Amino acid sequence: MKRAFPIFAVLTALLLSYALYEALVAAPTEKTMGDVQRIFYYHVPSAWTAFLLFLINFVASVVYLIRRSHTADIVAVVTAEVGVVFCTVVLVTGPLWARPVWGIWWTWDVRLTSTLVLWLIYVSYLMLRRFSTSSQTPLLAAALAVFGALDVPLVYFSIWIFRSQHPQPVIGGGGSIDPRMLHILLLNWVAFLCFAALICWSRYRLERLRREVEETQALESLLEPRSLR
């Protein structure tokens, strides 16, 4: 496993570089929006990756609620944190696309608002985990994650259910996309998925190590008064 990590990291870096080249250089220029449409190659895969991570967080939280599994709890923390990072990318790249195309940075549209709410839910989840000292924190966080996950389908299907200014989905939304554009979009998604997996892997190891250190420190503090007697 120790050897697999650097190999996977190098392959991911190569894939991300190739995907970046395809998005900026090889992809055809969209007729109405021009080059600014290329933001989609980062915005959309980041959103899909965030949704997937929040879905894994939901599954891990349910597993924790049922089995009290420490591994599930660690997976939940890791996916929520990395998911928030990808969701931040979505919330930053979205307005950077909207300003030249819509003429405004932000509108309180259902897709945009529900995405912001989703981000706030998972930020509050991370703050709960960071600042709560209660032994019930993993349980409370898992319950919050289950309710938070309800916002994911709302964000995704909001543009089908409600009238929205947001562009229709590129896949399954009734619209059409140039096959070359779709290929580059999927390539970027695969690259971001590999990158997310790599970060989750590092973060998982870090969280395990942190818990081991905390346990050892707690044991030491319990043993210290005895040694003084």
Spatial distance between the Cα atoms of 183 and 203, rounded to a whole number of angstroms = 30
Count the Cβ atoms, other than its own, within 10 Å of residue 117: 13
Alpha-carbon dihedral sign for residues 171, 40, 28, 188: negative
User: Considering beta carbons, is residue 10 or 66 the nearer one to other proteins?
Assistant: 10
User: Considering beta carbons, is residue 62 or 201 the nearer one to other proteins?
Assistant: 201
User: Considering beta carbons, is residue 136 or 227 the nearer one to other proteins?
Assistant: 227
User: Strand ranges (DSSP E) for the chain?
Assistant: none
Alpha-carbon dihedral sign for residues 202, 208, 212, 217: positive
H/E run at residue 123: helix 110-131
Minimum Å gap between C-beta 97 and other proteins is 7
Minimum Å gap between C-beta 35 and other proteins is 5
Minimum Å gap between C-beta 219 and other proteins is 10
Assess contact for 24 and 38: CB atoms under 8 A.
Answer: yes
User: Considering beta carbons, is residue 139 or 201 the nearer one to other proteins?
Assistant: 201
Minimum Å gap between C-beta 23 and other proteins is 8
- Coil, helix or strand at residue 172: coil
Spatial distance between the Cα atoms of 131 and 127, rounded to a whole number of angstroms = 6
H/E run at residue 17: helix 4-21
Percent composition of the chain: helix, strand, coil (DSSP 3-state, to 5): 80, 0, 20
Minimum Å gap between C-beta 33 and other proteins is 10
Where along the sequence are the contacts to other proteins (CB under 8 A)? Answer: 20, 24, 35-36, 38-39, 42-43, 46, 85, 88-89, 92-93, 96-97, 99-100, 195, 199, 202-203, 206, 209-210, 213, 216-217, 220
User: Considering beta carbons, is residue 11 or 150 the nearer one to other proteins?
Assistant: 11
Minimum Å gap between C-beta 163 and other proteins is 26
User: Considering beta carbons, is residue 99 or 180 the nearer one to other proteins?
Assistant: 99
